[in-house]
Structure 1
Amino acid sequence: MNNEFDFAALSKSWQQQPVAAATVPTAADLTQARQRQRQQWLLLAGEWLGAAAMAGTALWLVTSMQDWLSYIAAVFLLIGVLMSLYVSWHVHRPLLAYDNWSSSGVLAFRLRSCQLSLLYYRYNQLACALLVLFVVVLWGLWFWQPALVPAAMLKFYSLIALPLCLYGIYLLQQRIGNKQQEIAPLQALLQDFQSETV
């Protein structure tokens, strides 16, 4: 969820507009916001497909394998399904439903988009942390009952999934830091813009 934005250029552009509460932005002003909404639709569709795949896999594990490992994996998958539904409702829906395209509305959209990006990154960090927890559970089961955990599964999650999740948590933390730095200038710019239009 990228939000690269030139705050100085935006401020200069909007300071030159007439200060009316219902100023209509140009097509150029709307381009980024409209593109952002299209990206949200793609993310939403991808997350729904992922949630459907996780739900199907959890159902298959519970009905076909019926052992402790399958039940534990199914629980983690169902948590992933619930998280995907929660994210699509609380992160994507507000941006898809947004329709205030006045000049201040476009800026408010950018601020809301940035705030929701922060939330989205934190949800993804939590998903990575849950996968790390799943690997820890696998190792615990392997120490307790080695025959219960297939060696190939343990190797895959330990050597591939675990390092990728840890690296993902690190990258997401960097993005969270960047978004937190973007929010303050956007809030100040929106406050200045709204005070000028009053």
Structure 2
Amino acid sequence: MQISYLGIVLLMVVSPVPPEVFIPLAGFMAAQGKLHLVYVVLCAVAGFLVSILPWYIAGRALGKRGWHELIEQKTGRQKIGFLAISPAKLQKVNRWFRRYGGQALLVSMMLPGLRNMMAVPAGISGMPPLTFLLYTSLGGAVWLSVLTCAGYLLGDRYELISAYFGSGTTLFLLIVGIVALSIWGIRLYLRRKATL
């Protein structure tokens, strides 16, 4: 499988598959000399920002008043049309954002599903667009750099591993490892933050 810089941006914007799946592949291609490591990260961050901005804009357009009206209209697990999430889940994300602010944005960039939802309360809270872009760019750049470097460092071993397990198993194990490390790191961070 080959991937280009434009392909990375497009996958980040429209793919239902999380970047934890295809960004390590782009890092592996950088190790082979087919792509440049820095350009891979820059394209991934650009695509990420394009994909998350509509969520932030939706939160800004909704505002606090619209937020409360929307919550009153929907209950339980009903999905909120354009957000495709339940009010209960959105309230949880909103509470987490109110408690941790920009730090919540940084941490959420490493969690599939949560990264887009966290943009909604950032918009609702009236966080300035440049501040939002700074936090999301920083968090996204760190996480996407880790994923890219993981693929890069696997280098020739990427093919060796896939020869033993098959590409699907390799990808699954890589994703499970990355997710497990991310969850562990986030829990550790939140525990330390809570004890301060």
User: Do Structure 1 and Structure 2 share a fold, with TM-score over 0.5?
Assistant: no
User: TM-score under structure 2 normalisation?
Assistant: 0.28
User: TM-score under structure 1 normalisation?
Assistant: 0.28
